[in-house]
Amino acid sequence: IEKRIYTDPDQQSLVVRTTFKAMRGEITPYLLLEPHIANTGVGDQGAVLDSTQIVEGRAQSEGPSTLYAHEGDTHLILTSTRPFESASVGFIGVSDGLTDLEDGRLDSQYRSTGDQPGNIMLSGGLGRVQAGQPVDMDFVIGFGDSREAAESAANGTFQKGLDNVLANFNGEGSAVGWEDYIASLTDLPRIAEQSTDGGRLAYASALMLKVQEDRTHAGALIASLSNPWGDTVDATNPSTGYKAVWPRDFYQVAMAMLALGDTETPLAAFRYLPQVQVRADTPGNTGATGWFLQKTWVDGTIEWVAVQLDQTAMPIMLGYRLWKAGLVSDAEMAGMYTRMIKPAADFLVEGGKLGLNWNDRTVTPPWTQQERWEEQEGYSPSTTAAVVAGLVTAAEIARASGDTASAERYLATADDYAGKIESRMFTTEGSLGDGKYFVRITRNEDPNDRAPIGEANAQQGLPEDQIVDGGFLELVRYGVRPADAPSIVATLPEYDDQTREDRLRVRYDLNGVPAWRRYGNDGYGENVETGNGYGVGGMTPGQRGRVWPFFTGERGHYDLALALQSGAQDTTAIRDTYVRGMESFANGGLLLPEQVWDGVGNPTAYDYQPGQGTNSATPLAWTHAEYIKLLRSLADRKVWDRYDPVAERYSAR
């Protein structure tokens, strides 16, 4: 089965052009559509509709050619180029087509679900296909706020001609489409030369990153087009899943698009950010302002409200890069400084008592309510790296905006935070290796007291010195520490130790590719005992977070920083190890996942192989962004996320 899928730029419709080929004998293909209208899976109603033709002045049925589903004011119509030979609509697991087809035939054909809503499936039989006689069939799915609107969208696409729709989608002739977008990415050809697959994943990543931008709210960059473990997640209520704005993931995507040479989307993203920043007039807020919301819908609707200080620093860092690239004028930056940058930087200095929904905690930076994995409070190397970079770049903007006093205050605070990084987060009496390394996080300012961190994902809160992660490498990425800083170098052996028990082990070399989990004792993944997806059957200690491909890119960035610092000219080994490694994690559709299988425990019903993407979020925008940024860093011979004023202040030799 070959499917060619694209959208109609002028209609709310999706085109699926399909060719069926029987390899031997004959086949009878069936189309199955599980609609999940209105972003739920339980409230749908459906029907099979006949097409008609006029014969001798009378309307006569041609048979079923349209499948219809709706919930509330959301409607879906699927139409085909010719009638189905059989069609049915039924409830999942009871009367749906997939269940019915277990014997190879669609025995029962139901025309409607009636008045009963539920989790439904639409089915259509497409007729027999003989070996050596390929059959083409085209389908269009139209959407609308009524049945008539959905039908109009689908019919409008058919009437235009599907070849013409594809030409418009691609941007042929005078139409503006994807070919035009790719052509606008001035740096893509250059950085694609750093790939080891001929640029295939680089070009696919460019497209994948652009489609993370919401089409209604310009600049709203989401984390993924997926719900992680969506095959097992209850869809009774609407869920954004990863289809939402996290300023951290947002930053990664915007910076990758800037690396590609996209000068419009990152700017739209920067201008979008104020609507997800907490202000005095933020609905329900009675506390501190200036920080950025943990997670929101694309329209700014509040979803999660914990404070993650890296998510408050990164909008400042993005603005600085756009300003230095000449995409934000001095005048616009002066306005954004007053409106957004200064309130954020002030919060990074002062913190404050929160007052939004359930959150009434007091945050005193650089102590963060949550670090980048949204699970632990305390002092985090990765969070502190971003906070220091955010304050130093805020100082540059403040000075240019005429606020010298704030600039000096931001720098003094950054110096204080940077000067205490090791004393707060580097243990010299740890239980791993030689006892000297950065811990993932510590709840107080003593990294040697072996105090427990919090429980997360049903994993017990272990002593802080037992948990390491790659967050310390962010200190090098942003320029807060040189690549050969003693504290950085001392931590690498503990981060890379592959002899540690699986529960606490972080590094796994998969098919020769160096790869890392988020941290030891991570429980955000499949169950090692049952093979169940995350959270199935409740939160249990058997859950295990797997390897995340973008850590391969993060390590590549560190190795590049170290090589450049030592004056190395040849970076071929970095390209062959880390670029090729990330490319190996892409699936057949050139999508990079959140997590890949590490080979530990039950391989699940999917019989995962080491290095294969799991049912976590796929594609993950952050992974594609890290890949693109690594290519750009290699092409430039400079780490793309390195901030010159930060490096000059803390890493210069």
pLDDT digits (tens, 9 = 90+) for 3-33: 999 999 999 999 999 999 999 999 999 999 9
User: Do the beta carbons of residue 71 and residue 37 sit within 8 Å?
Assistant: yes
pLDDT beyond 80 at 56: no
pLDDT digits (tens, 9 = 90+) for 210-253: 999 999 999 999 999 999 998 887 778 888 999 999 999 999 99
pLDDT band of residue 546 (cuts 50, 70, 90) is very high
CA angle, residues 493, 495, 497, in degrees to nearest 5: 60
pLDDT beyond 70 at 59: no
In which order are the strands placed within the sheet that holds 30-33?
A: 30-33, 120-125, 86-91
pLDDT beyond 60 at 200: yes
Quick one: pLDDT at residue 38? 87
pLDDT band of residue 57 (cuts 50, 70, 90) is very low
Q: Which helix (H) or strand (E) holds 179?
A: helix 178-184
Please state the rounded mean pLDDT for residues 422-433. 98
User: Do the beta carbons of residue 126 and residue 54 sit within 8 Å?
Assistant: no
The torsion of the CA quartet 635, 637, 642, 647, rounded to 10 degrees, works out to -170
pLDDT digits (tens, 9 = 90+) for 95-140: 999 999 999 889 999 999 999 999 999 999 998 999 999 999 999 9
Quick one: pLDDT at residue 55? 38
Which residue intervals of 117-161 are DSSP H helices?
147-160
Which residue type occupies 49?
L
Tracing tokens 């590049």 back to the chain, one arrives at 560
Rounded alpha-carbon distances, angstroms, from residue 84 to 28, 69, 178, 575? 12, 17, 33, 51
> 421: closest CA among 372, 390, 385, 449?
385
Q: Which residues pair with residue 80 across a beta bridge?
A: 139
Q: How many CB atoms lie within 10 A of CB 3?
A: 9
Please state the rounded mean pLDDT for residues 78-83. 90
Cα(295)–Cα(311) distance, integer angstroms: 10
- pTM, full prediction: 0.95
CA angle, residues 413, 419, 420, in degrees to nearest 5: 100
Quick one: pLDDT at residue 198? 98
Helix (H, G, I), strand (E, B) or coil at 130: strand
> What is the percentage of the chain residues whose pLDDT exceeds 90?
93
Please state the rounded mean pLDDT for residues 308-325. 98
Mean confidence (pLDDT) of the chain: 95
Rounded alpha-carbon distances, angstroms, from residue 189 to 172, 266, 322, 575? 20, 19, 21, 16
Cα(326)–Cα(269) distance, integer angstroms: 15
Quick one: pLDDT at residue 63? 56
Quick one: pLDDT at residue 104? 87
Quick one: pLDDT at residue 62? 59
